[in-house]
Chains A and B, each alone.
Chain A
Amino acid sequence: MARFDRRRIPSGGLGPKGSKTEDIFGRLERGETTVGEALRVLRLSTARAEAEPDSGAGTSAEARLDESFEELDSLVGLDSVKRLVRELHAFIVIQRQRAREGLAAEPMVLHMVFKGNPGTGKTTVARILGRILKSTGVLQKGHLVECERADLVGEYIGHTAQKTREQIRKALGGILFVDEGYALARGGEKDFGKEAIDTLVKAMEDHKDELVVILAGYRNEMQQFLESNPGLQSRFPIQIDFPDFTLEELMKIADLMLQKRQYTMTPEARRVLRERLLHHRRLPYGDENAGNARLVRNLIEKAIRRQALRLVGRPNLSRAELMTIQAVDMADDETGKGKA
Chain B
Amino acid sequence: MKEAIVIGRPNVGKTLLTINLAEFLGQRRVEVMFRPRDGAAYTRIYSIAQARADLVAETPHRTRCLQSLVLSVPRGKGVRKVVVTDTTGLCDEIHPSSAVRRAMADTIRSVARAVIILHVVDPLQPLSGVDLDILRFGQTQEGYALVANMMDLPGRAERLPELVRAARPAPVLAVSALKRTGLGEVRAFLRRHL
A interface residues (Cβ-Cβ under 8 A, vs B): 1-4, 6-16, 21, 25, 28-36, 38-40, 42-43, 46-47, 95, 98-100, 102, 104-107, 206, 208-209
Closest Cβ of chain A: how far from B17's Cβ, in Å?
A: 17
Please state if A208 and B133 are interface contacts (CB–CB under 8 Å): no
Tell me whether B170 is interfacial, beta carbon within 8 Å.
no
- Whether B40 pairs with A105 at a CB distance below 8 angstroms is yes
Among A2, A8, A16, A208: residue with most chain B CB under 10 A: A2
CA distance A43 to B65 in the complex (A): 23
Contact A1-B109, Cβ < 8 Å, known A12-B41, A33-B94, A209-B37:
no
Interface range for B:
35 or more
Residues of B30-69 contacting chain A, CB below 8 A: 30-31, 33, 35-43, 45, 65-66, 68-69
Residues B90 and A35 in contact, CB atoms below 8 Å apart:
yes
Q: How far is B38's CA from A43's CA once the two chains are assembled, in angstroms? A: 28
Q: Mark B15-30, 1 if CB is under 8 A from A, else 0.
A: 0000000000001111
Flag if B105 contacts A9 (CB, 8 Å).
Answer: no
A35 touches B83 (CB 8 A): no
A16-B70 in contact given A39-B134, A102-B42 (Cβ < 8 Å): no
Once the chains bind, are A2 and B92 in contact (CB under 8 Å)? no
**B31 to A, closest residue via Cβ:** A3
Q: Is the CB of B137 within 8 A of A9?
A: no
Separation of A28 and B88 alpha carbons in the complex (Å): 14
Contact B65 A12 (CB under 8 A): yes
A36 to B9, CA, bound (A): 12
Is B101 in contact with chain A by the CB < 8 A criterion? yes
Q: Top 9 nearest A-B pairs by Cβ distance?
A: A12-B35, A15-B109, A102-B43, A105-B40, A2-B70, A39-B133, A36-B133, A16-B112, A99-B41
Q: Is B157 an interface residue (CB 8 A)?
A: no
Point out the residues of chain A lying under 8 angstroms from B81, CB to CB.
2, 6
In the complex, chain B residues whose CB is within 8 Å of the CB of A34: 92-94, 130
Are B111 and A39 neighbours in the complex by a CB distance under 8 Å? yes
Across-interface contacts of B41 in A (CB, < 8 A): 12, 99-100, 102, 105
Asked if B108 lies at the interface with its beta carbon under 8 angstroms from chain A, I say yes
Q: Do A25 and B65 have beta carbons less than 8 Å apart?
A: no
A35/B37 contact (C-beta < 8 A), A10-B3, A14-B109 known: no
Binary flags per residue of B61-99, CB closer than 8 Å to A gives 1, else 0: 000011011111000000001010000001111111010
Within the assembled complex, what's the spacing in Å between the Cα atoms of A47 and B38? 32
The answer to whether A2 touches B65, judged by C-beta atoms less than 8 angstroms apart, is no
Q: Report the separation of the CA atoms of residues A40 and B108 in the bound assembly, to the nearest whole angstrom.
A: 11
The CA-CA distance from A105 to B38 in the complex, in Å, is: 12
18 A-B pairs, CB-CB below 8 angstroms?
A1-B31, A2-B69, A6-B1, A15-B113, A29-B105, A31-B96, A34-B92, A34-B130, A35-B130, A36-B92, A36-B129, A38-B108, A39-B111, A43-B137, A102-B33, A102-B41, A104-B42, A209-B37
Closest partner residue, chain B, to A38 (CB atom): B108
Question: Would A107 and B108 be within 8 Å (CB), given that A2-B71, A2-B81, A10-B83 are in contact?
Answer: no
Q: A48 to chain B: closest CB distance in Å?
A: 11
Which B residues between 156 and 175 are near A, CB-CB below 8 angstroms? none
Q: Does B150 contact A (CB under 8 A)?
A: no
The answer to the question of B110 belonging to the interface, with a C-beta cut-off of 8 Å to chain A, is: yes
